[in-house]
Structure 1
Amino acid sequence: MTTLPPVPGPSSADEDGRRRHGEYKVPGGKLVVADLDVVDGVLAHVSISGDFFLEPDEALLDINRSLTGLPEDAGAADLAAAVTAALPEDAVLFGFSAGAVAIAVRRALAKATGWGDHHWNIIGPSVLPTHVNVALDEVLTEEVGAGRRNPTLRFWDWEEPSVVIGSFQSVRNEVHPDGVSRHGISVVRRISGGGAMFMEAGNCITYSLYLPQTLVDGISFADSYGFLDAWVMAALEKVGISAFYVPLNDIATEQGKIGGAAQKRLANGGMLHHVTMSYDIDADKMVEVLRIGKEKLSDKGTTSAKKRVDPLRRQTGLARSEIVAAMMEVFTERYGATPAELTEAELDAALQRVETKFGTTEWLHRVP
């Protein structure tokens, strides 16, 4: 295959006097670059380039022509469809895709963003009640969506033993009431979907990303998980763990599952992506508290819930705080993140949400 250099083409400044430029690095793949103008509300003088591979060479001109004349508000799916329709049947794309081209174009149009387009903050772990942690997830996602807070990575900490269930789970089906009572477990419902998490102080590493949805514009729901956690894989590699995603939302190593992710997208453009990874879980207590049925285990290729608990402590030999520190360091190096604190207003809003929503029986039992 041939590596294609940037293809020059006719260019003129668009109505506001600037040429639009967008870049997208395909995870595990190549860089796609889009340069274009906008004239009378449509794309003009489109030039796609990058370090990808494409055969035949002439297919690049087909891609450029397919995008020229499309409305500037075309969605990523429409852009990708136009590219796909224009490609010859024998075209081979290596290291990129029609969807990757669409993302680069959307970024050029400022409809989509990259990590480097934002000023990221990090909030380190501080001990808060579990109800407050889940309430903060809603509050901070709203704040980022409204533009009142920078996109933020926040690490959780807590003291009380808890079970955090997914937005669409039934308490009755997920927890053993006797085990919950015997072990003094606080049961809390979060705003994202996914499965239940058993959490005791120090036994998990949990973090939340609050981001604008423009960061995942054009990326499929399934692919957004790995995209948003690429930095985590690098951090785990740094502490000696080779991890990978098991679709849809599990993080695993060759020794088994170590974590799971969940997401929630809000109407105001904010998005929550959060992950819990096992550090040193009491497996016996977990199965006394959670109802982990055979059907759920069947697609994991195991018959024992205990085998699914593969703590980071055993695989790294490091203290939990050391792993968190490595994760914060990698995120900071990659994205230029700066430390931040929760504001008094955000904490007050979270406490109010606990009273009116997350701490209520109506919310906890909203699914029978």
Structure 2
Amino acid sequence: MRWTSFWNPGVRGDLGLATDEAALGWVARDPDAAILHLYRFDPPAVVIGYHQDPRAEADLRACAARGVEVHRRLTGGGSILMGPGQLGLALALPRSAVSTAGGFGPVFEALSGGIIDALRRHGVESVLRPKNDLAVDGRKICGVGAYTDADGMLLFHASTLVDVDFDLMLEVLHIPEAKHRDKFVAHAREGMTTLCEQVGRRVPVEDFAAAVEDGYRRSLGVHLERGELDPLRREDVERLAAARYRDPGWLHLGGRPGAQFTQVARKTRGGMVVVRCWQERGRVRELQLRGDFFAERGVVEAIERALRGATAGEARERVAAVLPADDLWLVTADDVATLVRDALTAEGVEGGRNATACFLPGR
């Protein structure tokens, strides 16, 4: 397999994420290829997981005031502020190149090796911990995620904190109200770390990007060469950025007005799951599954369709009927059915937030 890397030292969020997705198509047309995209966002951007609600995750007014963009990515997981101090990574390759038996966990384990090696070369030992973190002495330094498409391609995402503007992160991501803010901020600072903090000096992101390239060469034993995007591929990226990542419909994935609305959340083995439910006469009129879990594309949409018109007692059977036996997520039919029951029996609310940021503690 031929491995090629691309380094994007200061890319807008829409173009960076479009490059990640376009790489899936490039690999699909050449299944002997693997593409490693390394980048740094400029300007900074809040990037939410595929199944998340931007209004719950980001303070949209604060983002606009500070010039911080907001984008939705293809992969699941939690929201994150991506700025000049973080190294973004996307690896596109055929799904058959990595075992997915047992869920996304083995994928994370196999494909995090290049980052773990690069950290080790800087004198920092990290370990992969459930469900999708690299941690140093229990403190998160990197978040990872994955996505598979209908063509059998796999996209592995990672964001490593080389450095971070912690104050800006707290300003643009939703955190608890003032009553609990101080305790939350202290917990957040203790729960995360950066490469610069660990080594006690400034580390240029471009230097760490080169170390990650070397890390994949060593950890996977591959021959990787750095390349440049040619004009045709740049056209692919621009076309995709305009069609998807600059489209407000992609960012918001549509709310549903009318009917009685409830929102409930549950922490599961696969991550936080949020059910946003519009109901009439005890039946689901419309439902959205959100959260920081991972799932193959199409599974969540199939569950949402299956639950339209369902009562609380019908929810589990309907979910089980469309949930594939070999699906990669760790959320069960019982988990979803319990949430639907809670949503249908709860009092209607105007909104509600269950934010699940990647580098901030759950709340």
TM range (shorter): 0.5 to 0.7
CA distance in 2, matches of 1:218, 1:135: 25
CA distance in 2, matches of 1:199, 1:222: 24
In the alignment, is residue 172 of structure 1 matched against residue 55 of structure 2? yes
Pick aligned residue for 1:332 from 217, 223, 230: 217
Question: Which amino acid is 1:310 matched to?
Answer: T
Equivalent position of 2:132 in the other structure: 249
Q: What percentage of residue pairs aligned between the two structures are identical? A: 24
Is this contact kept in 2: 1:287–1:305, CA < 8 A? no
In the alignment, is residue 120 of structure 1 matched against residue 3 of structure 2? yes
TM-score by length of 1: 0.62
Shift of 1:153: 1.1
Equivalent position of 1:360 in the other structure: 247
CA distance in 2, matches of 1:197, 1:215: 28
CA distance in 2, matches of 1:218, 1:179: 39
Equivalent position of 1:87 in the other structure: none
1:38-94 alpha-carbon deviations (Å, 9 max, x no partner): xxxxxxxxxxxxxxxxxxxxxxxxxxxxxxxxxxxxxxxxxxxxxxxxxxxxxxxxx
Equivalent position of 1:258 in the other structure: 141
3-state SS in 1 of match to 2:33: coil
| Number of matched pairs | 245
CA distance in 2, matches of 1:285, 1:230: 30
Aligned residues: CA RMSD: 2.2
Equivalent position of 1:213 in the other structure: 95
Shift of 1:149: 7.3
Equivalent position of 1:34 in the other structure: none
Question: Which amino acid is 2:226 matched to?
Answer: P
Pick aligned residue for 2:70 from 178, 182, 187: 187
Between 144-153 and 128-137, the greater mean CA deviation after superposition = 144-153
Is this contact kept in 1: 2:115–2:212, CA < 8 A? yes
CA distance in 2, matches of 1:173, 1:189: 13
3-state SS in 1 of match to 2:50: coil
CA distance in 1, matches of 2:79, 2:167: 16
3-state SS in 2 of match to 1:335: coil
CA distance in 2, matches of 1:367, 1:184: 24
Equivalent position of 2:86 in the other structure: 204
Equivalent position of 1:224 in the other structure: 107
CA distance in 1, matches of 2:165, 2:114: 28
3-state SS in 2 of match to 1:323: helix
CA distance in 2, matches of 1:355, 1:241: 39
Equivalent position of 2:207 in the other structure: 322
Equivalent position of 1:159 in the other structure: 42
Is this contact kept in 1: 2:87–2:205, CA < 8 A? yes
1:11-46 alpha-carbon deviations (Å, 9 max, x no partner): xxxxxxxxxxxxxxxxxxxxxxxxxxxxxxxxxxxx
3-state SS in 2 of match to 1:127: strand
3-state SS in 1 of match to 2:2: coil
Structure 2 segments unaligned to the other structure (5+ residues): 256-363
Shift of 1:319: 3.0
Q: Any runs of at least 4 consecutive aligned residues in structure 1 with deviations exceeding 4 A, and if so which?
A: none
Equivalent position of 2:20 in the other structure: 137
Structure 1 segments unaligned to the other structure (5+ residues): 1-117
Question: Which amino acid is 1:140 matched to?
Answer: A
Question: Which amino acid is 1:208 matched to?
Answer: A
1:293-336 alpha-carbon deviations (Å, 9 max, x no partner): 59xx9xxx996323333111111223333222222223234311
Between 322-331 and 245-254, the greater mean CA deviation after superposition = 322-331
Between 144-153 and 262-271, the greater mean CA deviation after superposition = 144-153
In the alignment, is residue 349 of structure 1 matched against residue 213 of structure 2? no
Asked which structure has the greater RCO (Cα within 8 Å, sep 6+), the reply is 2
Is this contact kept in 2: 1:283–1:309, CA < 8 A? no
Cα distance 1:236–1:367, how it changes in 2: closer, same or farther (>3 A)? farther
Structure number with bigger Rg: 1
CA distance in 2, matches of 1:196, 1:140: 22
In the alignment, is residue 276 of structure 1 matched against residue 163 of structure 2? no
Is this contact kept in 1: 2:113–2:216, CA < 8 A? no
Question: Which amino acid is 2:216 matched to?
Answer: F
